[in-house]
C-alpha cells in the first residue's frame, strides 16, 4: 500500500512528463486508434470469410453468386420480416427485396436469352461462351426490339429517380450477371449519349416521367442499338416496353448463383459517373471487390442492426431540408448520411418543433466544414459526427472516428497500417509533386499541405474509368518513394497536424497562385462564411489580362432577408485574410449552381469571368486605393484592363 502511495505522485506527473516529451499528443488518442484498427481488421476478416463461403457454395445456390446476390439472399433468410427499406408510406422487408429483385433478375435473364438451364459454358457475369436460346414465345430482346439477346456481363444503364424500383432493378441486374450504370438523371442530349457510349451500354431503363424530355434523344438511342425499357405503362413510343410488367410476370424464386459469380473479384460490376465539374462525366469502374468492401462501411462507422438509417443522398440526391427532421421523428431515425452542403442547408432552416426530441445519435458523411460542424452540433445535438474522406474511384478512405471537429480522419501509424497513404509536397504552379535530387517525392511535415496519395496494390487497386486510357491521365504516380512503386493521386491537398489529425485543405485544381502566394479556396471560404448575412459562398480564381496567376473571386448568395453589407464585408476580409488572399471580385447571385452531389461548379464560374457586359449578376471589384468593394461598372472594367485600376 505504501508503495502505491509513493507511485501516485509519479502517476499524476506522468502526463506532464509526456507533454514535455511531446508524446502526450500522440498517446492520448492511442486507445481510439487501437479500437478502430481492431474493428477494421475484424471487418476485413468478415468480408474475406463471406467471399470464401460464396466461392465454396453450390453453383446452383444464390449464395454462390456475386456479393450483392448472396448478401441479400442471406439477409432474407436470416431476417425475412425485418424492415429493409422505408420509402414514403411504403415499407419493404428483406424478404420483399429478395422477391422483387428475383423477378427483375428473371426479366433481365429473358433478355439474355436464358431459358432456365445451365446453358453453354456455365460461367457467370463475364462469360463469353454459348448461351441458352430464348424461351418459347419470347423474343429475348426485352425492349420490344429485334436486337440480339444481351450478352452476359453487358451493361444496362438506369435513368431512374429515387425509389424502390431503382434498388430492385440494380439488385436484379447483379443477379442476372449484368453490369449496371448509374446515369445522372439530369443529363440529356450530348452528355447523356456520351455517358451511354463511355460505359458501353447495351440497354437502358428509364422512368416514364422522363420520356417527354428524352423524346428528341430517342432516334440517337435507337441508332445505338439500345434495348429500351420504361418502368411504367406502355407508351405511345415504339420500341419501349414496360419492364415492371415483364418482371411481375416472373416467379420470385432465386436464380442460380453461377449466373452472377464473377470470374475475378476485380471484374467491373458497376459504373458510377463522376460529377462532371471539370468536363463531361467519367464512368468510374467499380469492381466486385469494392462492392464487397462497401458492405462493411457502416460496420466501420459503428452502426448496429437496430439502427434506422436515413439516406437522402443516393439515387441522385433527393433531399428536403424543411422535411428532414419530421421524417426523422416519424421513422425513429438514429443515423443519417450526409455529403457536401446538406448539413449547412439544415442549419440555415428556420427553427422547427420537429428538430427537438429526435433520436439521431450519429451523422456519417464527408464535406462538413468546421463552422457548420459547430453550428450543427450546438443546435441539433447531442449527436456524434463521423466525418470521412473518400472518392468513388479512389483506393483510400479516412475516418474521423474520434469526433475531432474539423478533421476528416487520422494519420496514426496504426491506421496507416490498415489503410496506407501518404502526404507529399506539391507545387501549385506546375501542378506536379515536388521531387528530390533522386527523383523521389518528399513527405510533408506536420502543418504543411500535401497531396494525398495511396499505394496501388491488389488489395487497394485503381481500376480507372471506362473509355479512353487518357481519362485516367495524372491519376497514377510512379517512382514515388521507391523505383517501380505506383500510387493513386487523389488530387486533394490535406494537412496533418501534430496530433495526427487530417484536415482537408483544397482541391489541387482549386488552389491558385496570386502575387506569388498560394491561395487555398477553402480557407478564404471559411472567412466569408463567418458573416451572418451570407448563406452560400464559392471561392475560385479568374485570369486577369496583364497579371500573373489568378485573382480571387467570390460568388455570394445572401441569407434572406439580409442585405449585402459591403463595408462590413471589406472590414472582415481585411482583418482576417492576408492581402494576397482577399478576393478581388465579388459576384452576387440568388443561389449558387451545384452538381447533383452538391459540388460547386467553380470551373464554369471561372470561365464566365467578371465582365459586367456578359453577366447579369451584380459584380464588385476591390479598389485598393479606396479601400472598398465598389460596383464593377463598364468604366471600371475598362480601367482595370488598361491598368488604371490597381487590384
423 shares a domain with 492:
yes
Q: Residue 597: what pLDDT?
A: 66
Distance CA 426, CA 413 (A): 22
Answer yes or no: is pLDDT of 141 > 60.
no
Of 70-74, 402-406, 481-485, 596-600, the poorest mean pLDDT is in: 596-600
Q: 6 in a domain, yes or no?
A: no
Sheet holding 268-273, edge to edge: 240-242, 227-230, 201-206, 155-159, 179-182, 268-273, 283-287
Q: 250 in a domain, yes or no?
A: yes
pTM to 2 decimals?
0.82
Cell numbers for 331, please give them. Answer: 421513422
Q: 229 in a domain, yes or no?
A: yes
User: What tens digit of pLDDT does each residue of 625-646 get?
Assistant: 899 999 999 999 999 998 888 8
312 shares a domain with 447:
no
250 shares a domain with 381:
no
User: What tens digit of pLDDT does each residue of 218-275 get?
Assistant: 999 999 999 999 998 766 677 898 999 999 999 999 999 999 999 999 999 999 998 6
Q: How many CB atoms lie within 10 A of CB 613?
A: 6
523 shares a domain with 452:
no
Distance CA 329, CA 538 (A): 33
For residues 471 and 274, the answer to whether their CB atoms sit within 8 Å is no
Q: Facing residues of 541 across strands?
A: 552
User: What tens digit of pLDDT does each residue of 344-372 get?
Assistant: 889 989 999 999 989 999 999 998 888 88
Q: Facing residues of 441 across strands?
A: 435
Pairing relationship of beta strands 268-273 and 155-159 according to DSSP bridges? unpaired
500 shares a domain with 521:
no
Distance CA 424, CA 405 (A): 24
Q: 15 in a domain, yes or no?
A: no
Q: 603 in a domain, yes or no?
A: yes
Q: Residue 236: what pLDDT?
A: 64
Encode burial over 290-310: b for 16+ CB neighbours within 10 A, e otherwise.
bbbbebbbbebbbbeeebeeb
135 band by pLDDT with thresholds 50, 70 and 90:
very low
Domain extent at residue 445: 411-466+474-508
DSSP per-residue codes, 30-80: HHHHHHHHHHHHHHHHHHHHHHHHHHHS-TTSGGGS-HHHHHHHHHHHHST
Q: How many CB atoms lie within 10 A of CB 363?
A: 24
9 band by pLDDT with thresholds 50, 70 and 90:
low
Is the dihedral angle over the CA atoms 86, 89, 95, 96 positive or is it negative?
negative
519 shares a domain with 498:
no
497 shares a domain with 436:
yes
For residues 325 and 355, the answer to whether their CB atoms sit within 8 Å is yes
| One-letter-per-residue 3-state SS of 558-624 | ECCCCCCCHHHHHHHHHHHCCHHHCCCEEEECCCCCECCCCCECHHHHHHHCCCCCCCCCEEEEEEC
Q: Residue 471: what pLDDT?
A: 85
Q: Which residue has the higher pLDDT, 340 or 117?
A: 340
Average pLDDT, the chain: 87
Q: 57 in a domain, yes or no?
A: no
Q: 213 in a domain, yes or no?
A: yes
Domain end: 330, 359, 390, which one? 390
Q: Which residue has the higher pLDDT, 473 or 152?
A: 152
For residues 254 and 102, the answer to whether their CB atoms sit within 8 Å is yes
Domain end: 288, 312, 330, which one? 288
Task: Give the 3-state secondary structure percentages of the chain, helix then strand then coil, rounded to 5.
Answer: 35, 20, 45
207 band by pLDDT with thresholds 50, 70 and 90:
very high
Answer yes or no: is pLDDT of 560 > 50.
yes
Q: Residue 645: what pLDDT?
A: 86
Residue 259 sits at the vertex; the CA angle it makes with 230 and 125, to the nearest 5 degrees, is: 75
Distance CA 152, CA 129 (A): 9
CATH of the domain at 385: 3.40.50.980
Q: Residues near 359 by Cβ (< 8 Å), separated by ≥ 6?
A: 328, 332, 333, 334
Domain end: 254, 288, 322, which one? 288
Distance CA 615, CA 620 (A): 12
Per the structure, how many domains does the chain have?
4
Q: Residues near 22 by Cβ (< 8 Å), separated by ≥ 6?
A: 498
User: What tens digit of pLDDT does each residue of 484-515 get?
Assistant: 999 999 999 999 999 999 999 988 878 887 88
Q: 295 in a domain, yes or no?
A: no
Q: DSSP H helical segments within 249-361, as ranges? A: 288-294, 297-300, 314-317, 324-331, 342-347
450 shares a domain with 478:
yes
315 shares a domain with 192:
no
Q: What percent of the chain has pLDDT over 90?
A: 64
Answer yes or no: is pLDDT of 452 > 90.
yes
517 shares a domain with 595:
yes
367 shares a domain with 484:
no
CATH of the domain at 484: 2.30.38.10
164 shares a domain with 283:
yes
Q: Residue 510: what pLDDT?
A: 82
- The interaxial angle of helices 521-529 and 566-576, nearest 10 deg, is 130
Phi, psi of 241 (to 5 degrees): -110, 165
Amino acid at each position: 500500500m505504501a508503495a502505491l502511495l509513493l507511485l501516485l505522485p509519479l502517476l499524476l506527473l506522468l502526463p506532464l512528463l509526456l507533454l514535455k516529451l511531446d508524446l502526450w499528443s500522440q498517446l492520448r488518442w492511442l486507445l481510439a486508434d487501437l479500437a478502430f484498427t481492431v474493428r477494421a481488421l475484424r471487418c476485413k476478416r468478415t468480408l474475406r470469410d463471406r467471399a470464401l463461403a460464396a466461392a465454396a457454395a453450390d453453383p446452383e445456390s444464390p449464395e454462390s453468386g456475386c456479393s450483392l446476390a448472396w448478401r441479400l439472399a442471406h439477409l432474407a433468410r436470416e431476417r425475412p420480416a425485418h424492415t429493409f427499406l422505408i420509402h414514403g408510406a411504403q415499407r419493404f422487408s428483406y424478404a420483399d427485396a429478395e422477391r422483387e429483385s428475383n423477378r427483375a433478375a428473371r426479366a433481365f435473364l429473358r433478355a439474355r436469352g436464358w431459358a432456365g438451364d445451365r446453358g453453354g459454358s456455365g460461367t457467370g457475369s463475364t462469360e463469353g461462351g454459348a448461351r441458352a436460346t430464348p424461351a418459347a414465345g419470347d423474343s429475348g430482346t426485352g425492349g420490344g426490339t429485334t436486337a440480339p439477346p444481351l450478352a452476359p456481363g453487358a451493361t444496362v444503364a438506369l435513368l431512374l429517380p429515387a425509389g424502390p424500383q431503382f434498388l430492385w432493378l440494380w439488385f436484379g441486374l447483379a443477379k442476372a450477371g449484368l453490369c449496371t450504370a448509374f446515369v445522372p438523371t439530369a443529363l440529356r442530349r450530348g452528355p447523356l449519349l456520351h455517358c451511354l457510349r463511355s460505359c458501353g451500354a447495351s440497354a437502358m431503363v428509364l422512368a416514364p416521367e422522363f420520356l417527354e424530355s428524352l423524346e428528341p434523344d430517342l432516334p440517337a438511342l435507337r441508332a445505338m442499338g439500345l434495348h429500351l425499357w420504361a418502368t411504367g405503362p406502355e407508351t405511345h413510343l415504339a420500341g419501349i416496353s414496360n419492364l415492371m410488367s415483364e418482371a411481375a410476370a416472373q416467379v420470385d424464386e432465386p436464380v442460380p448463383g453461377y449466373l452472377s459469380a464473377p470470374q475475378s473479384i476485380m471484374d467491373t460490376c458497376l459504373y458510377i459517373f463522376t460529377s462532371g465539374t471539370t468536363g463531361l462525366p467519367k464512368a468510374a469502374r467499380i469492381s466486385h471487390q469494392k462492392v464487397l468492401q462497401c458492405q462493411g462501411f457502416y460496420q466501420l462507422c459503428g452502426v448496429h442492426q437496430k439502427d434506422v438509417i436515413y439516406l437522402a443522398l443516393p439515387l441522385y440526391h433527393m433531399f428536403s431540408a424543411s422535411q428532414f427532421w419530421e421524417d426523422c421523428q416519424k421513422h425513429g431515425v438514429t443515423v443519417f448520411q450526409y455529403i457536401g452542403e446538406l448539413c449547412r442547408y439544415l442549419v440555415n432552416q428556420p427553427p422547427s418543433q420537429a428538430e427537438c426530441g429526435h433520436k439521431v445519435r450519429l451523422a456519417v458523411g464527408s464535406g462538413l466544414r468546421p463552422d457548420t460542424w459547430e453550428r450543427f452540433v450546438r443546435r441539433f445535438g447531442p449527436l456524434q459526427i463521423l466525418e470521412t474522406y473518400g472518392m468513388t474511384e479512389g483506393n483510400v478512405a479516412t475516418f474521423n472516428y474520434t469526433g475531432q471537429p474539423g478533421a476528416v480522419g487520422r494519420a496514426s501509424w496504426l491506421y496507416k497500417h490498415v489503410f496506407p497513404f501518404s502526404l507529399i509536397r506539391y507545387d501549385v504552379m506546375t501542378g506536379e509533386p515536388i521531387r528530390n535530387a533522386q527523383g523521389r517525392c518528399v513527405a510533408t511535415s506536420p502543418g504543411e499541405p500535401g497531396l494525398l496519395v495511396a499505394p496501388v496494390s491488389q488489395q487497394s487497386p485503381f481500376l480507372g474509368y471506362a473509355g479512353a486510357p487518357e481519362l485516367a491521365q495524372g491519376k497514377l504516380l510512379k517512382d514515388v518513394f521507391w523505383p517501380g512503386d505506383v500510387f493513386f493521386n487523389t488530387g486533394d491537398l490535406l494537412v496533418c497536424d501534430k496530433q495526427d489529425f487530417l484536415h482537408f485543405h483544397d482541391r489541387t485544381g482549386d488552389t491558385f497562385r496570386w502575387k506569388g502566394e498560394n491561395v487555398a479556396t477553402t480557407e478564404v471560404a471559411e472567412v466569408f462564411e463567418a458573416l451572418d448575412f451570407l448563406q452560400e459562398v464559392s471561392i475560385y480564381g479568374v485570369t486577369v489580362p496583364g497579371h500573373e496567376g489568378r485573382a480571387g473571386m467570390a460568388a455570394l448568395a445572401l441569407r434572406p432577408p439580409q442585405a449585402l453589407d459591403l463595408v462590413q464585408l471589406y472590414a472582415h476580409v481585411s482583418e482576417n485574410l492576408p492581402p494576397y488572399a482577399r478576393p478581388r471580385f465579388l459576384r452576387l447571385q440568388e443561389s449558387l449552381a451545384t452538381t447533383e452531389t452538391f459540388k460547386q461548379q467553380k470551373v464554369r464560374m471561372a470561365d464566365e469571368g467578371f465582365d459586367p457586359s456578359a453577366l447579369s449578376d451584380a459584380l464588385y471589384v476591390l479598389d485598393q486605393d479606396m479601400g472598398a468593394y465598389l460596383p464593377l461598372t463598364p468604366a471600371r472594367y475598362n480601367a482595370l484592363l488598361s491598368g488604371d485600376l490597381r487590384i
